[in-house]
Chains A and B, each alone.
Chain A
Amino acid sequence: MKRKDEVIVGIFVTFAVTVGIVGTLYLARRGWTKSYPMYARFDWGQNLKVGQPVYLAGVQVGYVQNVDLNQNGYLDVKMAIERERKVPEGSTVTVVSEGLFGDKSVAIKPCRRVEAPLGAVEPAAGAKPAPPAPAEAGAAPVCRPGAFLADNDTIPTGRSAPTMDEILYSVDSVSKALNDVSKTARLEFVQNGGLAELRRTITSTNKLVTELSGVAEVQSKALSGTLASLKRSLDAIDSASLDSTVHNLKAATRNLTTLTQNLDSTAKRVNSILAKVDSGQGTVGLMMNDPGVYNNLRSLLLRLDSLTADIKANPKKYINVKVF
Chain B
Amino acid sequence: MSPTRTERPTSAFPVHQRAGIVFFRQMSRWFTGLFGQIGLRVMFAIEMVHGLFAEPGTWLPLTIKQMKNVGVDSIPLAGTVAAFIGAVTAYQTVFQLFPGAQLSAVAWIVRQSIVLELGPLITALVLAGRVGARMTAEIGTMRVTEQIDALETLAYDPVAYLVVPRFVAGITMVPLVTIIAIATGITAGGLMVVAFTHVTASDFQTGLHLTFIPFQVYYALIKATLFGGAIALIGSYEGYTAEAGAEGVGSSTARTVVISSVVILLLDALTALYLAPQLK
Partners in one complex: yes
Interface residues of A (CB under 8 A from B): 2, 5-6, 8-9, 12-13, 15-17, 19-20, 23-24, 27-28, 30-31, 49-53, 60, 63, 98-101, 103
Q: Choose from A16, A31, A60 the contact partner of B179 (Cβ within 8 Å).
A: A16
Considering only CB atoms, which chain B residue lies closest to A53 in the complex?
Answer: B206
Write the nearest CB–CB distance from B181 to chain A, whole angstroms: 10
Q: How far is the CA of A8 from the CA of B72 in the complex (A)?
A: 7
Q: Does B277 contact A (CB under 8 A)?
A: no
Separation of A53 and B217 alpha carbons in the complex (Å) = 21
Closest 8 CB pairs of A and B: A16-B176, A99-B102, A20-B179, A30-B209, A27-B212, A12-B72, A9-B67, A100-B100
Closest to A3 in B: B64
Q: Which residues of chain B come closer than 8 Å to A63, judged between CB atoms? A: 209
Q: Is B19 an interface residue (CB 8 A)?
A: no
Chain A CB within 8 A of B2 CB: no
Rounded to whole Å, the gap between the CB of B207 and the closest CB of chain A is 10
The answer to whether B98 touches A100 (Cβ under 8 A) is yes
Does B211 lie within 8 Å of A49, measured CB to CB? yes
Q: Please, which residues of chain B bring their CB within 8 A of the CB of A16?
A: 71, 176-177, 179-180
Q: A31: which B residues are within 8 A, CB to CB?
A: 205, 209
Please pick, from A12, A30, A51, the residue contacting B176 in the complex, using a CB distance under 8 A.
A12
Given A2-B65, A9-B67, A12-B75, verify A27-B98 contact (CB < 8 Å): no
Knowing A9-B68, A99-B100, the reply to whether A20 touches B210 (Cβ < 8 A) is: no
**B188 part of interface (Cβ distance < 8 Å):** no
Q: Which of B71, B217, B221 contacts A12 (CB 8 A)?
A: B71
By a beta-carbon cutoff of 8 Å, the part of chain B in contact with chain A is: 64-65, 67-68, 71-72, 75, 98, 100-102, 105, 111, 172, 176-177, 179-180, 182-183, 205-206, 208-214, 217, 221
Docked complex Cα distance between A73 and B177 (Å): 45
Residues in B whose Cβ lies below 8 Å from that of A12: 68, 71-72, 75, 176
Given A13-B172, A28-B213, A50-B211, 18 other A-B contacts at CB below 8 A? A2-B65, A6-B64, A9-B71, A13-B67, A16-B71, A16-B180, A17-B176, A20-B217, A23-B183, A23-B217, A28-B214, A31-B209, A49-B210, A50-B212, A52-B210, A99-B100, A100-B100, A101-B101
Which of A8, A16, A63 counts the most B-chain CB atoms under 10 A from its CB?
A16
Rounded to whole Å, the gap between the CB of B182 and the closest CB of chain A is 8
Contact residues in B for A24 (Cβ distance below 8 Å): 214, 217
Q: Chain A residues near B212: list those with CB within 8 A.
A: 27-28, 50-51
A51 & B65 in contact (Cβ 8 Å cutoff):
no
A-chain residues with CB within 8 Å of residue B217 when the two chains form the complex: 20, 23-24, 27
A26 to chain B, nearest CB (A): 8
- A63 to B206 Cα, complex, angstroms: 10
Q: Could you list some 21 contacts between A and B, CB below 8 A?
A: A8-B72, A9-B67, A12-B72, A13-B172, A16-B177, A17-B176, A19-B183, A20-B217, A23-B179, A23-B217, A27-B208, A28-B214, A31-B209, A49-B211, A51-B210, A60-B206, A99-B100, A100-B98, A100-B100, A101-B101, A101-B105
| Alpha-carbon distance A12/B105, docked complex (angstroms) | 32
Q: Are A100 and B101 in contact (CB under 8 A)?
A: yes
Contact B72 A9 (CB under 8 A): yes
Residue of B whose beta carbon sits closest to that of A17: B176
Residues of A within 8 A of B75 (CB): 12
Contact between A51 and B211 (Cβ–Cβ < 8 Å)?
yes
B101 pairs with A9, CB closer than 8 A: no
Which residues of the partner chain B approach A60 to less than 8 Å between Cβ atoms?
A: 206
A4–chain B nearest beta-carbon distance, Å: 9
Contact of B213 among A17, A50, A98, A103 (CB under 8 A): A50
Residues of chain A within 8 A of B205, CB atoms compared: 31
With A100-B98, A100-B100 already in contact, the answer to whether A27 and B68 are too (CB < 8 A) is no
- Is A98 a contact partner of B102 (Cβ separation < 8 A)? yes
Q: What distance in Å separates the Cβ of B138 from its nearest Cβ neighbour in chain A?
A: 16
| Nearest neighbor of B218 in chain A, beta-carbon distance | A24
* Cβ–Cβ contact A101 & B102, under 8 A: yes
Once the chains are docked, how many angstroms separate the CA of A198 from the CA of B271? 73
Q: Closest chain A residue to B105 by CB distance?
A: A101
